[in-house]
Structure 1
Amino acid sequence: MSRTEFVLATAIILFVAFCLGWFANWLLHRFTRVAAGDVAQLDKMSQELHEAEETRDQAITYLQQREAELTNQLAQTEAELSAAMEGLRDARHEAEEMRAYIESQSKSADGADAVFASKR
């Protein structure tokens, strides 16, 4: 085999390999090509996903606002409860003082009646 025949045989083999690779590439892309209907469906799905994400973000924002409102309302209610409990505690203390005063007045009045009765 001469040098020219060897170069020619190598060139033919490389050309055939190139043609087979190109044909395999074309065949692969031919079978894996995305149909127009599939692209439309993907577009529709991406739009729905975007809308769902917006709805989720709005729901999260609403829930955060609602949580802040309820936390504020709870703090206000706890403050009112604390004030009411303090007022009730003061009223009970005052009522206890009034009872003690009335009892002491009642005892002194009974003692005065006894002294007055003994002088008669």
Structure 2
Amino acid sequence: MDSTALTYTIAGTLFLAVLVGWCLRWMFSRLNRANRGDPSAQGDMAARLLAAEEAQKMAEAKLVSVEVDLHKKLSQTEAELAATFETLGSVRRELEAANHALAAREGN
């Protein structure tokens, strides 16, 4: 290979390297276009993120409050149910005793 062919080969290789580098830079800038936006948009996005986190914390606190209320209502309802069953049992016993007393009177 003579010096002229070597010069053209090196020049072509360098040109291709520059062309590939330029294409890669262009693709990279297209993919990262959002990062080059104005800083106020990023500040707005950060403010919205903070507001969303605050809303999430409030929702979690409300959820805990609702769960506590529901547990209170559940335990209250269970206590009322137990009292109702106790009353029902005593009424049944009284009814059975009254039926036995009535049967004994009728039998005499």
TM-score (norm. length: structure 1) = 0.63
SS class of match (2:46) = helix
User: 1:13-92 residue pairs with structure 2 within 5 A?
Assistant: 13-14=15-16, 16-17=18-19, 20-21=22-23, 24=26, 28=30, 32=34, 33-92=36-95
Larger radius of gyration: 1
Aligned pair partner of 2:98 in 92, 95, 100: 95
Task: Report deviation, 1:38.
Answer: 0.7
Gap change, CA 1:97 and 1:35, over 3 Å in 2: same
SS class of match (2:37) = coil
Q: Structure 2, unaligned stretches of length 5 or more? A: none
What per-residue deviation string (whole Å, max 9, x for no partner) do you get for residues 31-81 of structure 1?
A: 651211111110111011101111221122122212211221121111100
C-alpha distance in 2, partners of 1:30/1:53?
Answer: 29
Q: Structure 1, unaligned stretches of length 5 or more? A: 108-120
Partner of 1:3: 5
C-alpha RMSD over aligned residues: 3.3
Partner of 1:115: none
TM-score (norm. length: structure 2) = 0.68
